[in-house]
Structures are given as structure tokens and as C-alpha cells.
Amino acid sequence: MAEIIQRDGTWTFDGQTLRLVPGHDKSVSLLRKTLGELTVSLGALAGIAFEHGKKSGRLRLRLRDGADPLLQATGGKLADSDPYQLIVEPDRYGVAEYLVDEVRNAHLIEQVPTAPCQAYLLPGPSVPLSVSAGDGTASFDGERIRLEWNWKTEEAKSASGTRSLPLAEVAAVEWQPAVGLENGYLRFTVRNTPSKTPPKYDPNAVELWGFKKDPLMALVAAAVQARLPHPSAPTAPAAPEDAPPALTKSTAPAPPAEDHDALLRRLRELGELHRAGILTEDEFTAAKQAVLRRM
């Protein structure tokens, strides 16, 4: 086992997985602290590197494309909030290099592919969660997104009232940080209603102005992204016009089973909502039975 403990956090490698625990130092980003402990399997990893510096070094993980819904939703624009990097003090450079060697050797021995993933290998943030930043509050319970506006919201957008978007109607989600004079946003693309409206006026977007809590909106984006179809998942080719009639119900192949881990995660989320008093006993029972029928 290899381990490095720093004020920025602790990384531990047991030969198969990397356990990333954020530190408690004031320099640790709010997003990193809120996200908490992460477990990255060797199969999700594309590479690891250590960068020397005069005052401090930096460990960096590179995940396979499509492995993590957080990186997918944010396009790798988390900067200093990136949970896959660790600041290393000069007196621990040797430990950092040893960790890198251990991970690289295991990666080679296991012959882990570096090609893009066709399914997420990390679960994404837990739900329910709610974040207030910029001109609104975004909440997600695993099934529905709720957007509420504040007194700073442009009137043309707030006039539409609170938005409630079923996950089934969401085609895509995107988080963009504020850069320079350009504001950021959290935007949801609704099926069959694409919009090029600026986030300031878009009722399906929260505009972000570069304040401390902006990166937390990336957690909402990641939680939604984790429950959308993977962008690299193979799709069935369209049937040609002269294709034979579809199979009857009795001979048609069964649809592919849903990801078992995702359904188990959903059961845990429902239990948390029930214990928190958000779901009544009847609502919890009905929702639980619906999930069990899909397993």
C-alpha cells in the first residue's frame, strides 16, 4: 500500500483503488470539501503524474474519458476545485513519486485500457442536493430538477416562476465557470425545445457570477449527468425502410437490464428521503416497489 498525507488531503492506493480524502486546510476548495471522499478504481484511470515545483508540487490523476460524470458535465473546467489533484509539500516529493510508481506499475500489470468509457465508472454526487448561487437555487432529488429564482434574477426569467423539470425531459446538462467578464452558468437542455437564449434570460439555466459557491453548482450538474444516458453508449442502428416488421411481443428480445448498482443507489437515496421526512410512508413504498420491479 502507498499513502501520502498532506494538508490538501490524503491519497491512498491499495493496489486496486485510489482513495482520495480532502484535507481540512482553509486552502481546500469548497467543492472538494463538499464532495468528500472519492474512490477511483484502477479501471477508471488513464494516468497519474507528479509535477515538481519550487514551493510545492502537484499530483494529478487523469481519468479515462467518460469515466466520471463530474468531469463530463464540467468539461474539465474545475481548475483549482479539481478533486483529482493534490498539492504536495517539498519534503514529501519522494513519497509522491513512490505513489506514482506504484499506481503505474499496477496499471501496466492489470493492462487497464485507456480508451473512452461507454458507461460511468464513478457514481457522481449523492442526492438529494440543493445549491444556491448566482441568480437561483438548483435542487435535484434523482428524478426531478427544481429551479427557483431570487431577487437578483432578471424579471423576464423570474416571471416564468419556479421550474420543475422531470429528468426524462432533460437531454443534456452543462456547467460553465465565470471567466473574466464572462458569467458562468448551469444549463439544462430540454428535449425538443433547444434554446440559444443567454443564461441571464433562460428559464432552464442558472446564471453564475464567479462567487464562492459557483463550483457547487457543478455537483448538481454531475448528479444529473450520472443519471442521463452515457454520451458514448452504443445505440441501436436505425432500421432500413425495407426492414421486416418488428418482432411480436412474444418473440421480441427483452430490453437490456438497467445498471444494478444504479438501482441499488436509487434505493438508498429513497431511504434517505424517507428518513428525512421528505417522502411519506406511502410515497416511499410506491417508489421502492417501482425500483424493485426494474431490477
Structure confidence at residue 261 (pLDDT): 62
Is 93 buried (19+), middle (13-18) or exposed (0-12) by CB count in 10 A? middle
Residue 32 φ/ψ, nearest 5 degrees: -65, -40
Give the C-alpha separation, 51 to 57, whole Å: 5
Structure confidence at residue 252 (pLDDT): 38
CA-based nearest residue to 190, from 207, 177, 208, 173? 173
Structure confidence at residue 203 (pLDDT): 94
Q: Over the stretch 209-248, which tens digit does the pLDDT of each residue have?
A: 999 999 999 999 999 999 999 988 776 454 454 544 444 3
| Cα→Cα distances 110→65, 113, 281, Å | 19, 9, 46
Q: Beta strands 170-176 and 57-63: pairing type?
A: unpaired
SS3 258: coil
CA-based nearest residue to 154, from 131, 185, 180? 185
Q: Where are the alpha helices (DSSP H) in 59-215?
A: 69-74, 93-110, 155-158
SS3 95: helix
Structure confidence at residue 116 (pLDDT): 87
Contact 34, 126 (CB under 8 A): no
Structure confidence at residue 253 (pLDDT): 42
Give the C-alpha separation, 264 to 271, whole Å: 11
Q: At CA 59, angle to CA 55 and CA 64, rounded to 5?
A: 155
Give the C-alpha separation, 124 to 161, whole Å: 29
Looking up cell 416564468 gives 160
What cell was used for 48?
Answer: 497519474
In this prediction the pTM is 0.77
Structure confidence at residue 103 (pLDDT): 94
10-residue mean pLDDT series, the chain (295 residues) = 95 95 93 95 93 92 95 91 95 95 89 85 94 96 96 92 95 93 94 84 94 95 96 64 44 45 66 64 70 64
Give the C-alpha separation, 83 to 71, whole Å: 10
